[in-house]
Amino acid sequence: MVAKVPKRCVIGVDLGGTKLLAGAVDGELRVHHRALRSSRGNVTREVLSIIEGAVREAIEAVGGAAEGVGLGIPSTIDRRRGVSVYATHLPLAGVPVADLLAERLDLPVFMDNDANLAMLVEHRAGAARGVDHALMLTLGTGIGGGILVDGRVYRGSQGAAGELGHIVVDQDGPPCQGNCPNRGCLEVMASGSALVREATAMAGERPRSELGRALASGRGITGPLVTELAHDGDEAARDVLALIGRRLGVGLSSLVNVFNPDVVVIGGGVVAAGELLLEPARDELLTRGLPPARDHVRVVPARFGEESGMLGAALLARDGVDARAAA
Amino acid sequence: MVAKVPKRCVIGVDLGGTKLLAGAVDGELRVHHRALRSSRGNVTREVLSIIEGAVREAIEAVGGAAEGVGLGIPSTIDRRRGVSVYATHLPLAGVPVADLLAERLDLPVFMDNDANLAMLVEHRAGAARGVDHALMLTLGTGIGGGILVDGRVYRGSQGAAGELGHIVVDQDGPPCQGNCPNRGCLEVMASGSALVREATAMAGERPRSELGRALASGRGITGPLVTELAHDGDEAARDVLALIGRRLGVGLSSLVNVFNPDVVVIGGGVVAAGELLLEPARDELLTRGLPPARDHVRVVPARFGEESGMLGAALLARDGVDARAAA
């Protein structure tokens, strides 16, 4: 029996703030192999080697025949210069990541902001299918953003648009995360990191809740734990998710007033909390937003969940390879 | 001697929260007549009659031969239904303003949000000429916004996009103005109304400043007075403008992170303060924004000042009349 080798595969890579996912993806968005790595490298070369290793594993798993690589990174990107300009959580500032990887792999490499890619795949085949105006927020270590305008991902004048996590919610709020110099950004108020921070504080305040007991028992407070306890009915955990959801809703009111989108897609790990997060977010949006935009927009979870960045990167590579073949 | 009657004139109307400006404008954006009115009507019919009267005056002044009317209103607009949805400062919610005026005037009437129109004329012939990605903020009674994406005014899925004055700057801030249900919007923090409020408070705190003396003497504190005193060197007046400018800069950091524009054009009456307002705004943007967008963008005053809405409305009418003739 001969193993079936998929045809026309590309490798999609989602480089998150803490982990990396590479997938060998065919033309129908089927994933034939997944390679997972920790992305915590202290120097640029280390991060590049982690990416290279994962891509090689995925290529070998599908018989060595990938046509190109798509790479999503959590960074503002200067598309004219092809470099990562400001990676909030990785040592990639000023690095021509795509060129360096293309040299290492001898394959065409296409790069974009990770949340732009999540937007791309959610529009092409997911929760924003069939609409022309949409936004994407990915709630993880940070908050990434993607903008769909008239059916296309919007990148602004230099390719750096879509930093939807870096809109101010509270001008005197806490300093933002990573390399962002701002205060009170949506990211520092409503990301997975904010969720863990608020849950830890809440656990201290309510020691008799399940959340409080988890903290006291030395179990580390994580996003998935808060979500699990909330789904099991712990009021303290639910209150934390509602707090984060309402802050998300404040950000949504700004974004919906600005863009009047058909859909806002919420992705990233935090959206595993589902309606416990989204319902308070929608309530806050309806309380604060302007009609008709606030009443028109749908706020929905991502279809592709935590794989949307990787799948979007594969779409980027597929589009890029096809465009070169047609040229 | 026969007075020269301009050819191919249209009437541009800018309906502000407190006053209305109608202009008879030719194809080279020359204004042949201006009609100014107070726009304070308590009922819809009253406001419509004010508009009609100003338009008729402008038409008669150029020999009775206008080809169409453009109308800018400070309202979110549902373009599919052709109605004003949510006029923050005027009794126009749910009113099909363009249709009603067209009937009264027997002329084609084209309608858009006033700040969209300011964006249009600043792009076509003003401070955003030659760029593809720009934003417009008009600082008056409220704060209007316009978005230029790939060279075209962006209106979102229902025509209600661009409410840039209604991004949250402080989630626990004061209730926003007019009919906006939000708190701590840029509009309530940095509009002309906010300027007057902060200047009045400052005048009370610093009775020996020129601003304080103006208040004590019974002179009403207005935006133009604050600007005049600041230009004359009064520190209290300058501090108020700097405060408003910094808040504007907080909003700019959000907007520039989201859009990565080439230019942000600041218009409306408040921009008469010039660099006393814009310099602190730019400083705050540089302190808070993400590279490369914060370093790339230029923040500049509108070229057409308080006439940008009226001139943009004239362009809208010109484009609309030409499109109908071509169809």
Domain with B94 in it: what CATH number?
3.30.420.40
Are B31 and B62 in the same domain? yes
pLDDT band at A7; cut points 50, 70, 90: confident
Nearest to A280 by CA among A236, A235, A247, A232: A247
Nearest-angstrom CA–CA distance, B299 and A214: 50
Residue B65 one-letter amino acid: A
| Residue A202 domain-assigned (yes or no) | yes
Is the pLDDT score of B185 beyond 80?
yes
Which pLDDT belongs to residue B321?
95
CA distance A84 to B307: 41
CB-closest option in B162, B171, B255 to A169? B171
Same domain, A106 and A140: no
Is residue A140 domain-resident? yes
**Contact (CB, 8 A) for B245 and B266:** no
Average pLDDT of the segment spanning B191-214: 97
A284, A168: one domain: yes
Contact A258 B154 (CB under 8 A): no
Query: What average pLDDT does this structure show over B97-123?
Result: 94
Are A293 and B156 an interchain contact pair (Cβ–Cβ within 8 Å)? yes
What does pLDDT average to over chain B? 93
Check if A171 contacts B (Cβ < 8 Å).
yes
Measured CA to CA, the distance from residue A29 to residue B17 in angstroms comes to 52
* pLDDT value at residue B17: 76
Task: Supply the range of the domain harboring residue B92.
Answer: 10-117+307-326
In a domain, A124, yes or no: no
> Which residue from B85, B163, B260 is facing A258, i.e. has the nearest CB?
B163
Assess if residue A122 is contained within a domain. Answer: no
Predicted confidence at residue B1, as pLDDT, reads: 45
pLDDT at A141: 86
Q: Do residue B77 and residue B103 come from a single domain?
A: yes
- Determine contact: A188 vs chain B, CB below 8 A: no
Give A268-282 pLDDT, tens digit per residue.
889 999 999 999 999
pLDDT band at A5 (very low <50, low <70, confident <90, very high): low
User: How many folded domains does chain A comprise?
Assistant: 2
pLDDT given at position B88? 61
Determine whether the interchain pair A170/B171 forms a contact, defined as Cβ–Cβ distance below 8 Å. yes
4-63 in chain B: CB under 8 A from chain A: none
B171 with A172: Cβ contact below 8 A: no
Using a pLDDT cut of 70, give the percent of chain B over it: 95
* CA–CA separation, B252 and B268 (whole Å): 16
Is B53 in the same domain as B151?
Answer: no
A286 touches chain B (CB under 8 A): no
- pLDDT tens by residue, B279-323: 999 999 999 999 999 999 999 999 998 899 999 999 999 999 999
Residues A39, A94 within the same domain: yes
> Using the beta-carbon criterion (under 8 Å), do A157 and B296 form an inter-chain contact?
yes
CA distance B264 to chain A (A): 12
- C-beta of residue A281 within 8 angstroms of C-beta of residue A249: yes
Residue A243 CB neighbour total at 10 angstroms: 18
**Which span out of A86-95, A140-149, B235-244 was modeled with the highest average pLDDT?**
B235-244
Q: Which residues in chain A touch residue B136, judged by CB atoms under 8 angstroms apart?
A: none
Average pLDDT estimate for B46-73: 94
**In chain A, which residues have their Cβ closer than 8 Å to the Cβ of B132?**
157
Looking at the structure, do residues B97 and B203 belong to the same domain, yes or no? no
Q: Which residues on A lie below 8 Å from B257 (Cβ)?
A: 163, 166-167
Chain B residues inside the 8 Å CB shell of A175: none
Work out the average pLDDT over B191-196.
97
Put simply, the answer to whether B258 touches A157 (Cβ < 8 Å) is no
Q: Which residues in chain A have their CB less than 8 angstroms from residue B250's CB?
A: 168, 171
- Residues of chain A above pLDDT 70, percent: 95
Write down the pLDDT at residue A1. Answer: 46
Q: Tally A–B CB contacts below 8 A.
A: 162
* Token reading at A258: 């600005």
Q: Which band of pLDDT confidence, cut at 50, 70 and 90, is reported for residue B169?
A: very high
Give the integer Cα–Cα distance in Å for A283 and A227: 20
Verify that B261 and B294 share a domain, yes or no. yes
- Assign A77 a pLDDT band (cuts: 50, 70, 90): confident
Which residues in chain A (221-280) have CB-CB distances under 8 A to chain B? Answer: 247, 250-251, 253-255, 257-262
A247 in the same domain as A98: no
Distance between B109 CA and the closest CA of chain A, angstroms? 22
Contact with chain B for residue A300, Cβ under 8 A: no
- Per-residue pLDDT, averaged over B90-100, amounts to 86
Interface membership of B163 toward A (CB under 8 Å) = yes
Give the residue on A whose Cα is nearest the Cα of B180.
A290
Q: Is residue B122 part of a domain?
A: no
Residues B62 and B138 in one domain: no
Predicted confidence at residue A23, as pLDDT, reads 97
CB contact under 8 A, B293 and A168: no
Confidence of residue B79 (pLDDT cuts 50, 70, 90): low
Q: What is the mean pLDDT of residues B144-148?
A: 96
pLDDT at residue B3 in the model: 54
The span from the CA of A229 to the CA of A239, in Å, is 11
B177 inside 8 A of chain A by CB:
no
Give the integer Cα–Cα distance in Å for A303 and A267.
Answer: 8
pLDDT at B179: 83
Same domain, yes or no: A252 and A144 = yes
